[in-house]
Amino acid sequence: MQNKGFVRVFAVLLTLVCLFYLSFSFVTRYYNNKAAEYAGGDPSKESLYLDSLSTQKVWLGYTLKQCREMEISLGLDLKGGMNVILELNVADVIRSLSNNNQDENFNKALDLAYARQATSQKDFIDLFAEEYKNLDNGARLSAVFSTFELKDKITPQSTDAQVVSVLKDELKSAIDNSFNVLRTRIDRFGVVSPNIQRLETAGRILVELPGVKEPERVRKLLQGSANLEFWETYQLPEVYQQLVAADNVLATVLKEHNDEAAVTETATATTDNAETTVTETETISDKPATSEADSLLEQIAQDKPETQANQSMEEFAKQHPLFALLQINQYNGQLGRGAAVGVANVRDIPKINEYLAMKQVKDVLPRNLSLKWGVKAIDEKEQYFELYAIKVTNRDGTPALGGDVVTDANADFSQQPGRTEQQVSMSMNAEGAKAWARLTKENIGKAIAIVLDDMVYSAPNVNDEITGGRSSITGHFSPEEAKDLANVLKSGKMAASVRIVQEDVVGPSLGHEAINSGVISFALALILLMVYMCAFYGIIPGLIADGALVLNIFFTMGILASFQAVLTLPGIAGMVLTLGMAVDANVLIYERTKEELRAGKSLGKAIADGYSNAFSAIFDSNLTSIITGIVLFYFGTGPIRGFATTMIIGLFASFLTAVFLTRIVYEALLAKDKLKNVTFTTSITKDLLTNPKVNFLGARKIGYLIPAGIIVLGAISMSTIGLNNGIDFTGGRNYVVRFDQDVKTDEVRNMLDEKLDGAVSVITIGTPNQVRVSTNYKIADADPAVDQEIENLLFEGVKPLLPQGTTVDQFTSTYIQSSQKVGPSMADDIKNSAILAVIFAMICMAAYILLRFRDVSFSVGAFASVATTTFCIISFYTLLWKILPFSMEVDQTFIAAILTIIGYSINDTVVVFDRIRETIALYPKRDRYQVINDALNSTLCRTFNTSLTTLVVVLCIFILGGSTIRSFTFAILLGIIIGTYSTLFVATPIAYELQKKKINKRAAAEATNK
């Protein structure tokens, strides 16, 4: 084998890389186990333990937090949690950019564009521009959008194309703003390893929150509007005495209530804070008036070891519960002058908030004082946050200035004598400029807080009155921090709502079951494959192939870890399916080697020729499957992408292991003379399909009729019964509900019909005590309260089946195992993408076959084969979905199965076509009928082996893989059988018919010329 050294070096390097990335999963598992052991079943203690280690270096210089980010993450279907796709209201953004223009045609065009978007793949802004032009052909968009805020970008003379370009840029900015707001909200939510990413569709953002158990809280958090605000601030000396009074009142209240648990907790937190130092701030000459405040400040300023010597920290916490947690911003006994009053550890913030919310504390603090936390930590370990003193100057509690006056903000550099620093430039509209001038004039020497979502992002000091509406904020910003602040300032620019268009919630118990079923099916499939290879080809060839399979799994997992991919249940299914397809390479090599041995070649020569002759078929079959995976990845979302990613990586890994590494092993064994008596057969398989003589082409007419009959029956069924479309394609909600006892679906449906206006269906999922409730009740209503309303209606409907005294909260947290929501617009997009994906995959396959074989007959045959397979599977689904005892929904996972089968079916076809091409090259004068029949027969053993092994592994997933992917695996089972049939009786016969016609035409032309 050529380039053997390169292959060895590459394999070793890949092994090291995979070991490196997989090690993080083992490290995080180790610490998770330690945390669970420490917590003893208390989730809060477990979280506290992991948080305490999050910034410590635990492995190869990486912190535990970094290790958790680099481990193989489990998808929501395995771990439980929430998956949400949010959609920015583009129409709101456009209205905002027009200053809410009331022009009739403008608003009508927006409504028409919104209606067209459901059925069109065009960009919303392009649709809007088309509709506006259709309503009034002479109207110009610049007349609507040449506003004061956009005067630098759009003038009355701007063309429609220029306006559309600006609108698209502004929309992208709005999406970026929403993305940053959501990212910050999620960071504050405290989810481990969240995933938030922009989707290709304009205005859509995907959010994955593993382990979340409060979906209603998440919905409110994600759909709330972003409120940018500018607030005046107090300086610490102005409110220090009131904080001391609050601390004293708090000590009295806690003492009266004798809350020993709270005292112990604060003492522990104080001890943890003993080593804290606060960044130096500007010293001041002002001092608190009372001696009590002076003495307390001196006490706080003392070194902690001295304090501990004179007074236990527990006693200090009893006397000063607030200051035991909140370290006052001071230096050398002097109070800081800024708006930040103090610093606290992140884990103490909830307790401080609880103290500040007490009525007795509020009574002693100024009514116009509002205390807000900074959004970013002030230390490298991200443990300490500042608390700011906000001054409420308006009687109605509104901010001094709203963020809607900001027209633009950008991060750039400020040139100072001898240095360059980051700055954020901000522009305001005319109204905002006047208010900003007054606000800055009144607060010279003080800070103005920039607040978003009730968190302080920055509190810059005002040096002079700022007129004209243009300001710059300078500070010790990193480029990323400056960009983030600019995005924050722009977030108040457009009043665009965000709504949930798709949602999946999976309970932890359902996820645990999915892990078990996935692992069991994977292990059983691997064992069966390994036994099969040894039983069919002998112990040594079988073990070498099995070793390749194990390496394939290792490389696949390692590469997944390096990509920081998420492992889902469909991903596990993809891995199992890849095992079946990986065996195909070994089968092709072994079958070709057996042919060479039967031709009388030596073992070494037979193995070398076996690898050489099988290479083109392996390459073509793997590449066609990878093309299918790429199509699947591009058009799919969520778990489907996980399946596609795993399949693509697995195919690359199988090519490396089966084609190159196994050959190195054989060459090494041959060199040591360790392969005596190896025949690649066993007593069971010695004479199996060694010289078949099946006349496939003779039976081609019957072969055409069988799938044609199935497709006709399917078409009749489609027009009468139809398909069982899932909510992915129709829109709606699914709820998997598990009861304490077996239930009847008819009974549950009758209970819910009246509550949900009859728009409900119920089927059994997995076990008799578990059902899935599907409904499209109020699915078009975007009000966030509808989700809670439907959960309440579900609870009221099935209440007789629940234990006495069950509350609605217990029902949603314990009995609802998972939920799913797909909005109408999302459903239309998914359906359109699915149809395009299937058509595109078929065209790609036909084009690739044409490119590789340079014969249109092969391309037409391949296209006919995959089309036949696809239509037959769809026909079976419309014929059987009311008969079979499991869900046979047509949804995203079904489309994933169809695309997978398109790739698999092409594998078979490519192998046969490759043999035909090879034989024609060797014997160009031989009768084409005989050539094609011989090719089909010579590859029959490979077809039998590959189909059987893949069928076995998919059957394992179908039986043991869980109810959630049973419809998916059933489609693949059908596809394996139908795809194999189509290769033998559709693709190859059609190619023969076209070639025969071409040969006859050429013969007639030659006869005429003579």
Q: What is the pLDDT of residue 122?
A: 75
Joined together, the tokens standing for residue 708 give 């044609």
Separation between Cα atoms, residue 814 and residue 823, nearest integer Å: 25
Look-up of token digits 């502004």: 170
The predicted pLDDT at position 285 comes to: 29
- Amino acid in the structure at residue 769: N
Cα distance between residue 92 and residue 105, in whole Å: 16
Contact predicate 994/861, CB 8 Å: yes
Alpha-carbon separation of residue 417 from 71, 412, 414, 420, 476 (angstroms): 47, 17, 10, 8, 16
Predicted confidence at residue 352, as pLDDT, reads: 92
Q: Under a CB-based contact definition with an 8 Å cutoff, are residues 968 and 573 in contact? A: yes
| Number of Cβ atoms within 10 Å of the Cβ of 903 | 28
Q: Which residue has the tokens 């009893």?
A: 318
Inter-residue contact 144 to 160 (CB < 8 Å): no
pLDDT of residue 493: 55
State the pairing for strand pair 73-74/566-567: parallel
- Rounded CA-CA distance 821/775 in Å is 10
Q: Given this model, what pLDDT does residue 273 score? A: 37
Q: What is the pLDDT of residue 591?
A: 87
Q: Are 351 and 307 within 8 A, CB to CB?
A: no
How many whole angstroms separate alpha carbon 901 and alpha carbon 970? 11
The alpha carbon of 883 is separated from its chain's Cα centroid by a whole number of angstroms, namely 34
pLDDT reported for residue 844: 83
String of DSSP letters for 304-318: HHHHHHHS-HHHHHH
Low-confidence ranges of the chain (pLDDT < 70): 1-2, 118-121, 188-193, 200-202, 213, 224-226, 258-312, 415-420, 491-496, 508-511, 637-639, 758, 782, 784, 825-826, 1010
Closest to 980 measured CA to CA, from 908, 880, 911: 908
Q: CB–CB of 669/651 below 8 Å?
A: no
What does R_g of the chain's alpha carbons equal in angstroms? 35
- CB 494 within 8 Å of CB 93: yes
What is the predicted pLDDT for the residue at 974? Answer: 92
Measuring CA to CA, how many Å separate 188 from each of 181, 795, 888? Answer: 11, 31, 40
* Tokens matching residue 347: 């884990």
With a CB cutoff of 8 Å and minimum separation 6, the contacts of 275 are 304
Q: CB-based contacts of 1002: which residues, under 8 Å, 6+ apart?
A: none
- Going by C-alpha positions, the residue among 561, 562, 584 that lies closest to residue 979 is 584
Instruction: Fill in the amino acid letter for 221.
Output: L
Angle at alpha carbon of residue 142, lines to 138 and 145, rounded to 5°? 130
Q: Which pLDDT score is estimated for 732?
A: 84
Residue 92, amino acid:
D
CA distance 330 to 208: 41
pLDDT digits over 187-231, tens only?
Answer: 766 666 677 777 766 677 888 777 776 777 777 777 766 678 899
Distance CA 887, CA 727 (A): 13
- How many whole angstroms separate alpha carbon 919 and alpha carbon 926? 9
pTM of the model: 0.73
Where residue 873 falls (left for φ over 0; alpha for ψ -120 to 50; beta otherwise) is alpha
Cβ-Cβ contacts under 8 Å for 394 (sequence gap 6 or more) = 400
